[in-house]
């Protein structure tokens, strides 16, 4: 049973997804890019079956942790003239170690409710998106842009979309105050030793 004094959960309607990172290509500038669709955040461990026989001859079947697959985040947005993602992906294609970014922030902002946009435009019916607080935040550690795909569209019809897949060593929920990746305000989290 839930605590009656606790705040109800915040549900997002048509949320906005914003990734942010310190540009790895020779600039100290913080990159922020908004997406209209989060296709998924995936973190997966293979399951290994282990079979053993005890001294009485009883066969034991157990499931054990297997290999960890790299976590991925896939996002989609309308194509524009911002080339930051292409430059980031190109670094990975070139095998440049700068393609691996220590911490990338992923913030999910609601379209309404707490943290929703506030109207800052003088034009009637026009809102400028100014989120105040994310409803969820994630940190992608040692992340790099592994895939960019441009969607198909016909001239004069529809919107051309850009789909981006980011892989990382680890995804952690939350990254502080929601104003950017943790490494901009605090030391990066330490990763557990690899086996």
Print the domain residue range for 140. Answer: 16-182
Residue 192 domain flag: no
Residue 131 domain flag: yes
User: How does residue 131 score in pLDDT terms, banded at 50, 70 and 90?
Assistant: low
**pLDDT tens-digit map of 71-82:** 999 999 988 888
CA-closest candidate to residue 43, choices 63, 67, 69: 69
Q: Where are the alpha helices (DSSP H) in the chain?
A: 84-93
Three state DSSP letters for 41-84: EEEEEEEEEEEEECCCCCEEEEEEEEEEEEEEEEEEEECCCCCH
Residue 189 domain flag: no
CA-closest candidate to residue 88, choices 76, 103, 73, 100: 100
Query: Can you give the pLDDT at residue 26?
Result: 54
CB 84 within 8 A of CB 91: no
**Which CATH number does the domain housing residue 53 bear?**
2.30.110
**pLDDT tens-digit map of 17-64:** 888 877 655 556 678 888 888 888 888 999 999 999 999 989 998 999
Task: Tell me how many domains the chain contains.
Answer: 1
Whole-structure pTM value: 0.67
Residue 52 domain flag: yes
Residue 28 domain flag: yes
Query: Can you give the pLDDT at residue 25?
Result: 54
Residue 169 domain flag: yes
């Amino acid at each position: 049973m839930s605590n009656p004094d606790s705040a109800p959960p915040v549900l997002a309607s048509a949320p906005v997804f914003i990734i942010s990172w310190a540009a790895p290509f020779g600039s100290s500038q913080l990159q922020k890019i908004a997406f209209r669709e989060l296709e998924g955040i995936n973190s997966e461990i293979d399951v290994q079956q282990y079979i053993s026989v005890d001294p009485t001859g009883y066969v034991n079947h157990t499931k054990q942790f297997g290999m960890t697959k790299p976590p991925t985040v896939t996002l989609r947005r309308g194509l524009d003239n911002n080339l930051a993602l292409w430059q980031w992906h190109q670094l990975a294609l070139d095998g440049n170690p700068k393609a691996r970014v220590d911490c990338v922030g992923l913030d999910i902002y609601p379209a309404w409710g707490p943290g929703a946009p506030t109207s800052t435009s003088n034009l009637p019916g026009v809102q400028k998106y100014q989120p105040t607080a994310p409803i969820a935040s994630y940190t992608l550690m040692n992340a790099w842009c592994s895939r960019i795909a441009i969607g198909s569209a016909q001239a004069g019809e529809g919107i051309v979309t850009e789909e981006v897949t980011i892989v990382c060593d680890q995804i952690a929920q939350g990254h502080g105050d929601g104003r950017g990746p943790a490494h901009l305000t605090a030391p990066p989290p330490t990763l557990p030793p690899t086996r």
